[in-house]
Amino acid sequence: MKEIPQSLLNFNAIETTEDLKFIRSKFAAFELGIREKLIIIVFGQSSLSVALNASVGKHVPRMHFFIEQSRIDADMTALAENLTPYRTNGQHTHVHVLNAILNKSLHENYDWFLFVPDTTFVNPFQLLEFIKHKSSDESVVFGIPGGKDRCLLEAGILVSNPVVRSLVQQRHVCASIVANSDDVAFANCIARATNISCQKNKKYVWWKTEENSDGTSAIHDRIQSFSKCSRFNRSLTVSKLLSDTDVKVLHKYFIRIEKNRLSKKIDKLTKQFDGLTGNLSQSQSWPKHLPPVVTPPNRYQINYWEYFTETNIFKIELNQNSHPLAGNDVLDIGEAVDVAKNLIKSKRPGLNFVRLRNGYRSFNPTRGMEYILDLEFYNDFDEIESKRVILCRPIERTQLVPHVPYVKEDTDITLVIPVRNIHDVIPIRAFLVRHLRMCKSSISQIDHRRMKLVIAVRGINAINIRRISTDLNVLRQSCKSMQIETGILLLKPGNDLPVEMAAMDEAIDNYGQQVVYALLSPHADYQKEFLDRIRINSIRHFQVFMPIPFAEFSPKLTYADKMITEKGYDTQYDYELEKRMEKLNTENVPSTDTMNPVRIHKTQGIFDSKDFSTIAMYGADYVTSRHRLLKQINRGETINDLSSLFLGQTDIHILRAVEPSLKIRYHTRTCPTTLKKSDLFRCKMSQTRTIGSKSQLANVVFNDLEDLSVFH
């Protein structure tokens, strides 16, 4: 290697620490000026704040509470980050509120601000409907006018973003206001700092219980009489609250009102769609207003259908389209057949079910899972009668993820690679050489994010451990630009836990739970971009990352296919498969070069969706879910990977996506028969799919596709 001149080495010596500081780009929403719609700011004094947060807080983007520090008790700690305590120091509450709005930059993040005391209930549905038709760019103050055109804080004061910006800028004007109460002082502050009068709107309805009842009973005792008044049902705020029970009863009541309103709106739209479809040539579809199941919108959006019988299912796959009907497919289709039988019998009780002749299944993202079933029945004359039933399993419980925790791209990560036996020694040493090459290729790019590369070994002798340790030392010395640290963990040989689980246990014991861990196979081959995606896609207590790698085909098979194609073997063979394979084996097949990059091409490999060998997660999430694996092991089940840690959980998300920068080198995959039925099926599918493509297999073995042992 040519020596680098010393002058070039000192070129960046004058750079300061600030120049080398990692800078993350801002949020796109901030750059585009996108803000949240609403924040409710509550002047709290009692435990009513907790009740409001538990009810109203679920239906608005944000609800924030300002409570004097001496009034905060143990129950109010449930408000957590939505609570800002303050000390009065002889000043009115609004002074501290405006200072906090500035310090927290709330005036930059929300379009509308509603200020209320904790003795006032807010109808979130009516409030959101109200601001939906108002422009937040105008300087307006909505509320119920009191004396001198000042809004009453008890009824709630709704102000737009420009008004809040003016309040923050002119907050010094409000510091000298003297009033009998905080409510009056804040109303005077708005008028003095912005010079805007309180604007009344007929849709801004305030229900004051003192004016609509005898005042001797609580709201929850009078809710039935209040409900008879349409004005109460349209109210935006209700006061005065006396207890937590008032909050719960009002919340439950207004939810019922909103559900009834939405139901009426849906019924109205349904009737409108029915009226429109009656004038069209097409028959009515279900669900309403969606395209019929068998009619694609155009030739570019055609849904693919899976054909099935009682014994087999034909899927849309590249390598193998025919599969035995088993596992979840049996349960899914069996349930659809039962529904179809009951539907036919409800209309024709005299029919007796014979069999499922055939059927079709397709997933439609706008409708759900579609089924077309052809069933055979015996009628009263002992004749076979065929019936076609079209069913739809609608998509239920769909959920958008509105609030994803903030993640940083400078997170430190720890790569954990388990070595289970002597056969993994050569792959792991090749893995380290590839990592060294990747490091040297980016030596000019200084990366200040630290990364640990840890190898956990079990079942290999001391000589191989020493060789791996030497390779790690070379890697650490040569990759100083990537801030890499290395380590080797010696797992106990008598440990009955799977090597992946034992490796994670040992790594977390050594490096802690608050670290991102990426569990990799010794056969993994990745690029530097993959490390950045680990940092972005692993979110503590929220999401784990399970990428879909590109699995390399058997080099022997790809070479044999290439050899047959180039040398032009006659495709009409008179000799048997064994003789054909013997002839192929006489050719010199070059050994696999594990240093050459794997090319992503349909003849070189496949994105293996059945492979779960790579998983990135926080150590704390692993520790929380570890007991699930222990239960399986105690039942005598064998663990193929760590995917069952998080599959089926509702409290954490799984990001499963194709990852082009992660490849898996070809290796012999073993599937123990002690695996769970679903895991064994998945393992065998992965084992078969990664041997070669269907055309390559056909070119070598022709019709005998089951005899794949010659390539192992």
Mean pLDDT, 10 residues at a time, the chain of 712 residues: 38 39 50 79 90 91 90 79 85 90 89 94 94 90 87 93 92 86 90 91 88 67 85 91 90 94 90 72 62 72 88 82 88 95 92 94 85 93 91 76 73 92 90 87 69 90 91 86 84 84 93 92 91 91 93 85 66 55 56 72 90 93 90 83 85 90 90 84 87 81 45 43
Residues 359, 710 contacting (CB under 8 angstroms): no
Token code pair at residue 65 = 């509470």
- The token pair at 197 is 């009068």
pLDDT of residue 528: 87
CATH topology of domain 306-394: Nuclear Transport Factor 2; Chain: A, (3.10.450)
Name the helix (H) or strand (E) containing 258.
Answer: helix 244-277
Helix, coil or strand: residue 536:
helix
pLDDT the model gives residue 98: 92
Predicted local distance difference test score (pLDDT) of residue 712: 42
Distances (CA, A) of 710 to 554, 673, 692: 11, 21, 13
Task: Give pLDDT, residue 291.
Answer: 64
The architecture CATH gives domain 30-239: Alpha-Beta Complex (3.90)
Residue 459 is predicted with a pLDDT of 83
Given this model, what pLDDT does residue 214 score?
59
pLDDT for residue 32: 59
Helix (H) or strand (E) holding 562: helix 555-567
DSSP state, residue 334: H
User: Residue 244 is inside which H or E element, if any?
Assistant: helix 244-277
Angle at 375 between CA 373 and CA 376, to 5 degrees: 165
- Looking at residue 30, its pLDDT comes to 54
- Contact status, residue 375 vs residue 357, Cβ threshold 8 Å: yes
Secondary structure E strands in 161-298: 206-208, 237-239
Class of domain 413-711: alpha beta
Where do the structural domains in the chain lie, given as residue ranges? Answer: 30-239, 306-394, 413-711
In whole angstroms, give the CA distance from residue 327 to residue 417: 32
Burial (CB count <10 Å: 0-12, 13-18, 19+), residue 349: exposed
Cα 460 to Cα 421, 427, 466, 468, 536: the distances in Å are 6, 14, 10, 11, 35
> Is it true that the peptide bond before 85 is cis, omega within 30 degrees of 0?
no
Angle (CA) 528 529 533, round 5°: 125
* 482 touches 436 (CB < 8 A): no
Dist CA 616 CA 636 (whole Å) = 26
> Is the pTM of the predicted complex or chain greater than 0.75?
no
pLDDT value of residue 322: 86
Q: Is 559 exposed, middle or buried (0-12, 13-18, 19+ CB in 10 A)?
A: middle
What confidence score (pLDDT) does residue 2 get? Answer: 40
Alpha carbon distance 374, 354 (integer Å): 11
Same fold, 30-239 and 413-711: yes
Residues β-bridged to residue 65: 42, 83
Q: Report d(CA 377, CA 347) in Å as an integer.
A: 13
